[in-house]
Amino acid sequence: MAKQAKAGAARRPQRGRRRERKNVPRGQAHVQATFNNTIVTITDPAGNVVCWSSAGASGFKGSRKSTPYAAQVTAEQAARKAMDNGMRVVEVYVKGPGAGRESAVRALQATGLSVIAITDVTPIPHNGCRPPKRRRV
């Protein structure tokens, strides 16, 4: 009985997700730089995600994710994926206070994407949540 169940499961055809190539010549690069990680998402002008990368997905673990070098590698990886989809021109939107803000934007420019605008979209509270307490080191 058990062998028949396994054989039936093995016969089921496996279909993988097929990734279609989108031909998007211009788009937006959203850089989210937090204190712990940097996430780069590249979208088309309508806001649909073309590709993304993060410091964790780039192979960095723990406190190394929050370094400028990790942000640079992440942005290069996302830019390469975007250029494979035909992207040439991006507008960059930077959000957050992290260490990888500038290095991610520089890496996007260095990989060959033409950056036409850089906008800071960090949300500023009108005295909302209480901030974390001061660290005593």
pTM: 0.80
Supply the pLDDT for residue 22: 73
Q: Is the dihedral of CA 88, 91, 97, 101 positive or negative?
A: positive
Residue-wise pLDDT for 30-62, tens only, equals 999 999 999 999 999 999 999 999 999 999 999
Going by pLDDT thresholds of 50, 70 and 90, the confidence category of residue 4 is: low
CATH architecture of 24-118: 2-Layer Sandwich (3.30)
Rounded Cα distance, 43 and 91, in Å = 10
Contact 79, 71 (CB under 8 A): no
Q: What is the pLDDT of residues 90-116, one digit of tens each?
A: 999 999 999 999 999 999 999 999 999
